[in-house]
Amino acid sequence: MMTQTLLGAPLVFWGMLCLAIAVAYYYIWPRPDPRRLAPRTTREHIVLRYFHSLVWVLLAAGCFLAAASLGDLGRWIALLGIPVYIIFLVYVVRDRRKEDAARAAQRQGAGARNAGAPQ
């Protein structure tokens, strides 16, 4: 039986590395700033909280399946990580823009209040 490898390392190694990264992102994730102005919807929270870890789990599953001689299935499972990651990135960008807009509106409101104050 030929050992499946990627860049000279066994796919099981890559799968374990992917799982370790998934666990790290699951437990050590950037929490929203407590001073955040724009609240997140439930969908935004779920995508931002779990989808990055899910990408790494899909990559790990792909590695394990390919190592078990199920390369075609493993490839498709790993490729599912691409749209999941794209969705995650879209939500990250939208979330940052939403927060930036809320901060800009707050600054504008503060400027308008200060402009009308007696000197």
Type of residue at 76: W
Q: What pTM was estimated for this model as a whole? A: 0.76
Type of residue at 3: T
Q: What six digits make up the tokens of 99?
A: 């927060």
- 115 or 19, higher pLDDT: 19
- pLDDT, tens digit, for every residue of 35-57? 778 788 889 889 998 999 999 99
CA 26 and chain centroid, separation: 10
Q: How confident is the model at residue 95 (pLDDT cuts 50, 70, 90)?
A: confident
Q: How far apart are CA 7 and CA 11, in angstroms?
A: 9
Q: How far apart are CA 30 and CA 23, in angstroms?
A: 14
Residue 7 scores a pLDDT above 60: yes
Q: How confident is the model at residue 89 (pLDDT cuts 50, 70, 90)?
A: very high
